[in-house]
Structure 1
Amino acid sequence: MVRLSRLTRQALLCFLAVGCVMASAPSRADGTGWESVKKAGVLRCGAAVAPPYVMRDPKTGEYSGFFSELCRNFGQNVLKVKVEFVDTTWDNIVAGLQSDKWDLSMALNQTPEREKAVSFSAPATDYNVSFVYNKNNPKIPKSAHSVAEIDKPGVTIAVMSGTAQDKAISAVIKQAQIMRLPGNDETRLALMSKRADLLADANITNMLLTEAHPEWAVAIQPNPPLAQQEVAFGLRKETPASDVAVLNNYVNEQVKSGAVNRLIKTSVQAMLVTNK
């Protein structure tokens, strides 16, 4: 039997370990950015529900909403690949992108905190936080137009956990109670069942609620605007600048041509029909 020196054995073990890692590595490690996506033949879009940005039919699992359409069109028409939507939550939307569970995070608010972790495309639209309440709720002043007027003991504000609006109200609400819930359906139900006095959400999302229920739903648009931000696609930090430029060109073209506004209107109309 041939005896191997200690140094030789260590080298052999290192070689075998590296070989195992390379064999188990995902195929996307073979390339970077859109090169990797094209090799895989599929663009993975991280999807956390937030109507009308990202919507999911509970019966079919099909995705709609204007950011879903933007991601679908980018994959099919620009990269020429299939598009796959990966279910996630707003608590995991950044972490999943960092760990390569998907290639783009949809409808991500560009905040300083997130900019440390991921990169952003050109913005597709802007965003701020509004509040919806039942006009018959005596706790809420009918002429309220500021956070201070609703930040009172005994007032409960429902919000989707981990979202930009969660972070925004957490920074300014000092006395009211914040009820953090996992999704849009849960926050709306909390308001409609009167477990919550207010619902904090994106201005465009809350517009859907007030238009669907004009008989009771009233919106408060804080003055000055709360958490005015841009909404874009999130990408991993290591995405090459040339690949970011490809996505930026696509987004800017969609905004400039009016396609984004048309998609927003279509998504809003679809939501209103669904909520009737």
Structure 2
Amino acid sequence: MRKFNKLRLVTAACCTAVLGFSYASSTIAAETTWEQVKEAGSLRCGAAIAAPYVMKDPRSNSYSGFFVEMCREFADHLGVEANFVDTNWDNIVAGVQSGRWDLAMALNETPERARAVSFSEPVSFYEVSFLYNKDNPKLSGDVANLEDIDKADITIAVMSGTVQDKAVSESMENANIMRLPGMDETRLAVMSRRADVLADANDTNLLFHHANPEWSVIMTPDPSLAAQGVAFGMNQSTPEADVQELNAFILEKREAGEVDRMIDDAAALAAQQMD
């Protein structure tokens, strides 16, 4: 009987220790997201440039774009200021993992990224398109599918570390892939004819086409290449309740038509900046 009582006491102590550890872990997790953001007074948003999602005015260093506006409005929802942290597409996921920022803006959900970070509901939707110069003799005639540009004498410019980089790398067997650090560099490569084709997000390429209608043509593959949602990325330690709070905020904005309005405003601003 004494042995049994002793065993019960040991078991109870172990259970108490486990419960205490679970409570401590959940407390730590809760403090790593919106509660911590509120205590800091700042929502840090990782900003890699890709119009019209995230843009930056080089003269004023001010940010714009519909993901930027969403970040600001979610910060208002939490009662804090939005703080934008410069990064690039090669490092944006690592910054979420290491806690350098609370949200990664305009992140496409891929299986690889889903193993590294948590994703919100999509804010918008994405696929890869290809823009080229209609006067390029290497692309004369009808360019209708990937086979028409997957040739050994064709160079495709793409932003390094992006979804389009991965999609093009996996889809092309013969074309040369020119990986560059940013959107400006990829566009300049096509404009200067160092590259023949620009692979980018459909919305981004459409803006570039509107700014250069006299020479640019867009080819969008059918079936779609890398079709997916564009969302916020979060550290995987973010509690489910916090993820759902962000999701509810996004769905409310989408259903009210506010996301569409933000996209239209960002597209108009991006077109002005390209003129």
Normalised by the size of structure 2, how large is the TM-score?
0.88
Take 1:268 and 1:29, find their aligned partners in 2: how far apart are those partners? 38
Take 2:178 and 2:245, find their aligned partners in 1: how far apart are those partners? 40
Code of the aligned partner of 2:186: T
Instruction: Provide the residue aligned with 1:47 in structure 2.
Output: 47
Take 2:234 and 2:81, find their aligned partners in 1: how far apart are those partners? 18
The answer to whether the Cα contact below 8 Å between 1:141 and 1:149 also exists between their aligned partners in 2 is: no
Shift of 1:138: 1.4
SS at structure 2 position matched to 1:174:
coil
Instruction: Say whether 1:224 aligns with 2:223.
Output: yes
Q: Deviations over 1:131-173 (max 9, x none)?
A: 0000101111432121111100110000000000000000011
Q: Deviations over 1:182-230 (max 9, x none)?
A: 0000000000000000000000000001111100011000111111011
Instruction: Provide the residue aligned with 1:85 in structure 2.
Output: 84
Shift of 1:33: 1.1
Instruction: Provide the residue aligned with 2:60 in structure 1.
Output: 60
Instruction: Provide the residue aligned with 1:4 in structure 2.
Output: none
The answer to whether the Cα contact below 8 Å between 1:52 and 1:66 also exists between their aligned partners in 2 is: yes
Identity %: 56
Equivalences for 1:166-185 in 2 at 5 Å? 166-185=165-184
Instruction: Say whether 1:268 aligns with 2:270.
Output: no
The answer to whether the Cα contact below 8 Å between 1:124 and 1:260 also exists between their aligned partners in 2 is: yes
Normalised by the size of structure 1, how large is the TM-score?
0.88
Take 1:109 and 1:140, find their aligned partners in 2: how far apart are those partners? 30
Equivalences for 1:107-122 in 2 at 5 Å? 107-122=106-121
Instruction: Provide the residue aligned with 1:151 in structure 2.
Output: 150
SS at structure 2 position matched to 1:224:
coil
Code of the aligned partner of 1:52: P
SS at structure 1 position matched to 2:243:
helix
Take 2:58 and 2:73, find their aligned partners in 1: how far apart are those partners? 22
Shift of 1:32: 2.3
Take 1:47 and 1:217, find their aligned partners in 2: how far apart are those partners? 28
Code of the aligned partner of 2:237: E
Take 2:261 and 2:250, find their aligned partners in 1: how far apart are those partners? 14
Q: Give the direction of change, closer, same or farther, for the CA distance of 1:273–1:146 in structure 2 (3 Å limit).
A: same
The answer to whether the Cα contact below 8 Å between 2:29 and 2:238 also exists between their aligned partners in 1 is: no
Instruction: Provide the residue aligned with 1:202 in structure 2.
Output: 201
The Cα RMSD (Å) is 1.2
Take 1:183 and 1:122, find their aligned partners in 2: how far apart are those partners? 26
Q: Deviations over 1:53-109 (max 9, x none)?
A: 000011111000000000011002x10101100000000000011000000000000
SS at structure 2 position matched to 1:226:
coil
User: After the TM superposition, which parts of structure 1 deviate over 6 Å for at least 4 consecutive aligned residues?
Assistant: none
Code of the aligned partner of 1:86: V
SS at structure 1 position matched to 2:143:
coil
Unaligned stretches of 5+ residues in structure 1: 1-27
Unaligned stretches of 5+ residues in structure 2: 1-27
